[in-house]
Structure 1
Amino acid sequence: MRQWPKPAEGSWTEHYPDLGTGAISFEDSVSPEFFELEREAIFKRAWLNVGRVEQLRRTGSYFTKEIDAARTSIIVVRDRDGGVNAFHNVCRHRGNKLVWTDDPRAESAGVCRQFTCKYHGWRYGLDGELEFVQQPGEFFDLDAKDSGLVRVHCGVWNGFIFVNLAEEPPQTLREFLGPMVTALDDYPFDRMTEWYEFTADNRSNWKLFADAFQEYYHVPGLHPQQIPNAVRTGKGFECAHFQLDGPHRMVSTGGARRWTLPPEFMYPIERITRSGLVGPWESPELGDMPTGLNPGRVEPWGIDNFQIFPNIEILVYRGWYLLYRYWPTSYNTHRFEGMLCYQPARTVRERVEHEVSSVVFKEFALQDAGMLTGTQTALEQAYRSAGITRFPVNDQEILVRHFHHAVADWVDRYRTEVGVR
């Protein structure tokens, strides 16, 4: 991990010469062939966050996750010893999807003692072992010990549940996350259990929405009410700190607190409830924070946005956090998941503050999402009609540059390994 203060004259990008400063290619966002490589090189090999331990509060609690990019479905369950297991969601008898309700393509959750296939009644324990077969004498040399659910590598960091679909991951979860992310080890994510969740099917490549949230160069143009002149420099709005570590990235913002701005730069509901885009104006104290938070020691500090490769972002505010996930469904579509996580409200007023904050967040997220179909459409047209793939990226967009560079690195390594051109 390298950490650099930005010099008075110079740039963030110059500290990472491997990234270069030229235009970058967005062919990775418009090519169906490249997306097929991403499936194999990234989504079947990287550690993927699929949930939180709070979703598995008791023995037998489970949820399923559809990972279209890897063409698979998994079950995540808490076993009788308190551990968290993950399995491919398929019965070992005739391949029926094991856990589903009305629609086998929809995700589900619940509590059970066993998993029972609704087709022929085979049953599996919470540890994945095959426990019951209808009429076992009708089978030829059936080995029950070798017929349990197929296990998926599973790990937990700070309450975040990750899975890895590789036969043998080259790194442990902690090694994969690296020192920049694991420096958040002591952050009290487990205290923020009041959740507001959003999902949206977006008509753009998964990387384009991630790009929208890892640069703030767009803020004055797309969200002018968020960044008034009072907090702009002569060059516009600039972030206070950038940092790279392996395939992961982070950015810190600073500037005036939202509630110190003139009333005309706030929605009326924000002034009334004293809550908005940056959350409640007054949040319960969290105590000492880990050294990994605000690593640039920005003052006044606003937000830390940690982008964990490939498709999760954790945005830490004062007293609460946001979680984003981007799940590809094709080369030019993806499902976006957003989750706002607060400490449980102690009063009606605090509950209203949380709900107002989540609604204001959705408004700004829709502004970002509203650009993406236009971006995707134009990139595809430029690529197919004029062969244009490369576009300039500025210093405030260093994380965009790094992200596409990391994706290319993973795909290139895969190509070399399997001999694909």
Structure 2
Amino acid sequence: MAFFKKPDAGSWTEHWPELGTAPVDYTDSVDPEHWLLEQQAIFKRTWLQMGRVELIPKKGNYVTRELPSAGAGVSIIIVNDGEQIRSFYNFCRHRGNKLVWTDFPGEEVSGTCRQFTCKYHAWRYSLKGDLTFIQQEGEFFDVDKADYGLVSVRCEVWEGFIFVNLDDDAAPLREYLGEFAEGLEGYPYHEMTEHYSYRSEINANWKLFIDAFTEFYHAPILHMKQAEKEEAEKLAKFGFEALAYDIKGDHSMVSSWGGMSPPKDINMVKPIEQILHSGLFGPWDRPDIDGIQVDELPPAINPGRHKSWGTDSFEFFPNFTLLFWAPGWYLTYNYWPTAVNKHIFEADLYFVPPKNLRERLSQELAAVTFKEYAFQDANTLEATQTQIGTRIVKDFPLCDQEILLRHLHMTAHQYVDRYKAELANGSQNGKHAATTDVKDAARV
């Protein structure tokens, strides 16, 4: 269950004693060897969110995704074959050329096709991944096309979100997402197809940005200039605290007040927000659809059913955030590490399509306001990375509100520790040693 507003005595952290209260070691955010272990132990074994089904709504629609987080050069194709969403590694079975790309092989692309054709020697593959054509097939030696289809990647869809997993032995997606997913089903995601997106390279470890978005301890200080003077002074004086926290296995959530849309006092917000009826919390005018009022929300959202509720943020390990706002829109974040001190941050905002110009401008203001807040966070993170990278100090104290930071770093460490234990037991690829023994015997 979620734990709600704490009494004067007690704390959030006491509900999860396994997390402890000691300072947290941040070596995991600066050690290059640890980062390489995270690639293998985490990003090659967990479910990774790729986007929504609206990206590829029709037969033949496809997108490619580059996944350096799972290893240098890893690239996949995600395609709608007319019956289901599939995913494949993005390389040709002939000589390993990248199969789908345009001018620059490192860039992600999208489009529509009837089949995939390699631009090197014109081998062709169906949307289901079957090899259908070999140029000058008669010159090959006993090649059976059935043996040379595209290498598939596990791909499943939950509530319109596309996930892939590079581990063929991983548990099914729905099982992995667990109780939080069950409690979020039924939200009108499919109604919110107006889409804004941001993508930026951040010079900081991927976990540091998740840290920033799972605590509100920083908000009254770092974002003070975004509020009107009187409101900013109140926040700085009294602080900001969440309504509820919850942890279920590898995943976590925080629920908070803050749905100031419209604000109680119009003078609390800036003139442009007054004119367009919008701001960080989203458009003030709720969309007229079912399933977004407080009493209609799925049970995991605003679990305490607080009247002052404003936003919930769900952290699906390792790198997918699903964030709901009271006015009736939602955000997703993804953090894709490319090095121990760099990652790609992706943010996607989803609204109900506007019916007029005012509604459109209202949504655009929300998107721009979000971007300003995100830049403030990102800039601070890069300063953090430069200093913890010196390793002058490695252990840092965390306050009671920073409980989800403890959980994130502990969870990531557990994945790495399990992987290291498997390697120590003689499994070269992180699977079972018996499998490796069989392969070695076959080579002999």
Q: Percent sequence identity over matched residues?
A: 49
Match of 1:77 among 71, 76, 79: 79
Contact 1:225 1:266 in 2 (8 A): no
Aligned partner of 2:166 in structure 1 is 165
Residue 186 of structure 2 is aligned to residue 178 of structure 1: no
Aligned residue number for residue 312 of structure 2: 304
SS of the residue corresponding to residue 336 of structure 1 reads strand
- What CA distance in whole angstroms lies between the structure 2 residues aligned with 1:319 and 1:269? 21
Q: What is the identity, as a one-letter code, of the residue corresponding to 1:316?
A: F
Aligned twin of 2:416: 411
Distance of 1:31 and 1:364 partners within structure 2: 28
Match of 1:270 in 2: 273
Shift of 1:299: 2.3
Q: Does 1:353 align with 2:358?
A: no
How big is each residue's C-alpha offset from its partner over 1:95-147, in whole Å with a ceiling of 9 and x where there is no partner? 00000011100000001000000000000000000000001111112121110
Where do 1:343-382 residues align within 5 Å? 343-381=352-390
Aligned position for 2:28: 28
Q: Which one-letter code corresponds to 1:343 in the other structure? A: V
CA apart distance, 1:168: 1.6
Q: Is the 8 A contact 1:303 1:315 kept in 2?
A: yes
TM-score by length of 2: 0.90
State the superposition RMSD in angstroms: 1.7
> Partner residue of 2:2?
3
Matched, 1:189 2:189: yes
The DSSP-based 3-state class of the residue aligned with 1:183 is helix
Match of 1:129 in 2: 130
Separation of aligned partners in 2, 1:44 and 1:221? 37
Quote the offset at 1:419 in angstroms. Answer: 1.3
* 1:312 aligned partner, one-letter code: F
Counterpart residue type for residue 140 of structure 1: F
- Kept in 1: contact 2:30–2:340 (CA 8 A): yes
> Which shows bigger deviation, 281-290 or 397-406?
281-290
- Asked if the contact 2:261/2:283 (under 8 Å) is kept, the reply is no
**For residues 51-130 of structure 1, what are the structure 2 equivalents within 5 Å?**
51-71=51-71, 72-81=74-83, 83-130=84-131
Indicate conservation of the 8 Å contact 1:196/1:341, yes or no: yes
Aligned to 1:395: 400
The structure-2 alpha-carbon separation of the partners of 1:230 and 1:78, relative to structure 1 and needing over 3 Å to count, comes to: same
Q: Is the 8 A contact 1:241 1:298 kept in 2?
A: no
1:152 and 2:157 correspond: no
CA–CA separation in structure 2 for the residues paired with 1:363 and 1:255: 18
Given that 1:153 and 1:163 are in contact with CA atoms closer than 8 Å, whether structure 2 keeps it comes out as yes
Residue-by-residue CA offset, 1:234-265 (whole Å, 9 max, x unaligned): 65110111111111111111146253255554
Distance of aligned partners of 1:360 and 1:255 in 2 relative to their CA distance in 1, 3 Å threshold: closer
**Could you tell me how far apart the structure 1 residues matched to 2:24 and 2:314 are?**
22
Q: Which residue of 2 aligns with 1:259?
A: 262
Q: What letter matches 2:368 in structure 1?
A: V
CA distance in 2, matches of 1:361, 1:407: 28
Residue matched to 1:201: 201
8 Å contact kept, 2:13–2:19: yes
In the alignment, what sits opposite 1:320? 329
- How big is the shift at 1:417? 1.6
Q: Distance in 2 between matches of 1:41 and 1:208?
A: 19
Q: For 2:375 and 2:89, locate their aligned partners in 1 and report how far apart those are by CA, in whole Å.
A: 34
Report the more deviating stretch, 215-224 or 259-268.
Answer: 259-268
Distance of 1:115 and 1:255 partners within structure 2 = 48
- Going from structure 1 to structure 2, the CA distance change for 1:20 and 1:367 (only over 3 Å counts) comes to same
Contact 1:101/1:108 (8 A) holds in 2: yes
Aligned to 1:292, the other structure's residue is in SS state: coil
Give, in whole Å, the separation in 2 of the partners of 1:149 and 1:173.
Answer: 22
Point out where structure 1 has 5 or more consecutive residues left out of the alignment. Answer: none
In 2, the alpha carbon distance for the partners of 1:390 and 1:18 equals 18
2:350 alignment partner, SS class: strand
Distance 1:329 1:98 in 2: 22
1:173-252 aligned at under 5 Å gives the runs: 173-225=173-225, 228=231, 232=235, 235-252=238-255
Alpha-carbon distance between aligned partners in 1 of 2:423 and 2:410, rounded to the nearest angstrom = 20
Q: Contact 1:121–1:134 (CA<8 Å) still a contact in 2?
A: yes
CA contact (8 A) 2:258 2:281 kept: no
Judge conservation of contact 2:261–2:278 (CA < 8 Å) in 1: no
Between the aligned partners of 1:212 and 1:258, the Cα distance in structure 2 is 24
Unaligned runs of 5+ in 2: 291-295, 427-444
Partner secondary structure for residue 259 of structure 1: coil
Q: C-alpha displacement at 1:224, in angstroms?
A: 1.4
Distance 1:342 1:21 in 2: 39
Structure 2 Cα separation of the partners of residues 371 and 229 of structure 1:
19
Where 2:3 maps in the other structure, the secondary structure is coil
Mapped to 1, the partners of 2:149 and 2:405 lie a distance apart of 43
Aligned mates of 1:402, 1:276 — CA distance in 2 = 31
